[in-house]
Amino acid sequence: MSAPDRGYVGRFAPSPTGPLHAGSVAAALASWLDARAHGGRWLLRIEDIDRPREQPGATASILDTLSRLGLRADGDPVLQSTRGAHYEAALYALRSVGLAYPCGCTRREIADSQQRAGLSAARHGELVYPGTCRDGLPPGREPRAWRLRVPEGVVRVDDRLLGDCSQDVAAEVGDFVLRRADGMWAYQLAVVVDDAAQGVTHVVRGADLAGSTARQVVLAGALGVRSPRWLHVPVVAGADGDKLSKQNGATAVDAARPLPVLDAAMAHLGFEPPSVRGHDAWLAEATLRWAARHGPRATASGR
Ligand code: GLU
């Protein structure tokens, strides 16, 4: 294996909306293997800011499954629910330089103005914001959400697996939400603040989040923090062809039998699963296979 990269910090950041299923295990394994292949550290973060979507017991179940799979983290997991003061500080910093502004629009109003402008509906998971409140709240409007003032132009993103994922965030997403109208912190803000706070240098996650990456690069720039490197692995599809989720039949993996679960995840990631039996040997062989394709020597081109 290549010389260890002591500066490498990776992470897995599940939302506790249910137990780990085949898709989330593949993402967890990929990020763990990438960290080990680089001789780096691997951290865990529980993204429990969306309380209504949280499922009781999911955090404990996720941690238990990871430990049975042998995917042990370097250090205790960070819980986003404890990090509100840091998100508040980031929003304050953005406001004080004029990069965040209050928005009084409802979803309905945004959808209507989009329709009037002939814009297509939601792209990248959010309605394209037409900029209604950018230059100040219209008279009589109350602030609801906080948005980032997104600079014009294409944001460059070079994914280690997907290649060019650049995106014109201003045109395709618009000024996106940092704090939601219901007072909850937006995923985009929390993830950027926490990746920076945890010193994350490499993000490896499911390709369903590839469309968020450019937004996270913009936000990191606005906050004056470094963006990590990116690698998005294919998502596992459910019965309906969409990303596997609770809605389309995702079931919890059987953590009592870790090797078949790891074999399936490895195959999904496009690798022949190691035929060695024995947990530690399996993980060691899988790390070598990952390193041959994505390790520091395999990626001398800089990706
Ligand atoms: N919490 C997100 C999820 O479970 C992942 C966030 C990330 O990896 O950036 O989908």
pLDDT per residue as tens digits for the range 234-272: 998 887 888 887 777 788 999 999 999 999 999 999 999
Rounded to the nearest whole angstrom, what is the distance from the C-alpha of residue 203 to the centroid of ligand 1? Answer: 10
| d(CA 297, ligand 1 centre) in Å | 28
Q: Is the CB of 14 under 6 A from ligand 1?
A: yes
**Three-class secondary structure assignment of the chain:** CCCCCCCCEEEECCCCCCCCEHHHHHHHHHHHHHHHHCCCEEEEEECCCCHHHCCCCHHHHHHHHHHHHCCCCCCCCEEHHHCHHHHHHHHHHHHHCCCEEEECCCHHHHHHHHHHCCCCCCECCECCCCCCCCCCCCCCCCCCEEEECCCCCCECCEECCCEECCECHHHHCCCCEEECCCCCECHHHHHHHHHHHCCCCEEEEEHHHHHHHHHHHHHHHHHCCCCCEEEEECCCECCCCCECCHHHCCCECCCCCHHHHHHHHHHHCCCCCCCCCCHHHHHHHHHHHHHHHHCCCCCCCCC
Assess whether the C-beta atom of 191 lies below 6 angstroms from ligand 1: yes
Which is the closest atom of ligand 1 to the Cα of 27? 8
209 in contact with ligand 1, CB cutoff 6 A: yes
Which atom of ligand 1 is nearest to 195's Cα?
9
Q: Which atom of ligand 1 is nearest to the CA of 216?
A: 9
Count of positions (residues) in the chain = 303
pLDDT tops 70 at residue 141: yes
Averaged pLDDT for residues 117-145:
81
Chain position carrying tokens 């947990």: 279
1, pLDDT greater than 50? no
Confidence grade of residue 3 (pLDDT, cut at 50, 70, 90): low
Q: Is the CB of 47 under 6 A from ligand 1?
A: yes
Residue 205 near ligand 1, beta carbon < 6 Å = yes
Structure tokens at 192: 């950027």
pLDDT digits (tens, 9 = 90+) for 152-163: 999 999 999 999
pLDDT at 29 (0 to 100): 98
68 Cα to the center of ligand 1, angstroms: 21
**Does residue 91 have its Cβ closer than 6 Å to ligand 1?**
no
Mean pLDDT over each residue of the chain, to the nearest integer = 92
Euclidean distance between CA atoms 299 and 84, whole angstroms: 37
Instruction: Kindly report, residue by residue over 204-225, the tens digit of the pLDDT.
Output: 999 999 999 999 999 999 999 9
- Among 46, 48, 189, 209, say which to mutate for ligand 1: greatest number of ligand atoms within 8 Å of CB: 209
Res 33 pLDDT > 60: yes
Q: How confident is the model at residue 119 (pLDDT cuts 50, 70, 90)?
A: low
Asked if the model's pLDDT at residue 233 lies above 90, the reply is yes
- Ligand 1 site, residue 46, Cβ cutoff 6 A: no
pLDDT in tens, 85-116: 999 999 999 999 999 999 999 888 888 887 77
Per-residue confidence band for 299, with pLDDT thresholds at 50, 70 and 90: low
With contact defined as beta carbons under 8 Å apart, do 48 and 240 qualify?
no
**What number is the average pLDDT over the span 117-134?**
74
Domains, the chain, with CATH or none: 9-81+236-300 (3.40.50.620), 84-187 (3.90.800.10)
Which residue in the block uniquely carries the two structure tokens 């004080």?
A: 96
Compute the average pLDDT of residues 109-138.
Answer: 78
Does the beta carbon of 15 sit less than 6 angstroms from any atom of ligand 1?
Answer: yes
User: What's the pLDDT score for residue 270?
Assistant: 97
pLDDT band for position 120 (50/70/90)?
low
Q: Ligand 1: does its nearest atom lie under 6 Å from the Cβ of 13?
A: yes
pTM for the whole structure: 0.93
CA of 140 to the centre of ligand 1 (A): 37
Could you tell me if the CB of 216 is within 6 A of ligand 1? no
Residue 121's pLDDT band, with cuts at 50, 70 and 90, is: low
CA of 44 to the centre of ligand 1 (A): 11
Predicted confidence at residue 98, as pLDDT, reads 97
Q: What is the mean pLDDT of residues 181-188?
A: 96
What's the pLDDT score for residue 113? Answer: 80
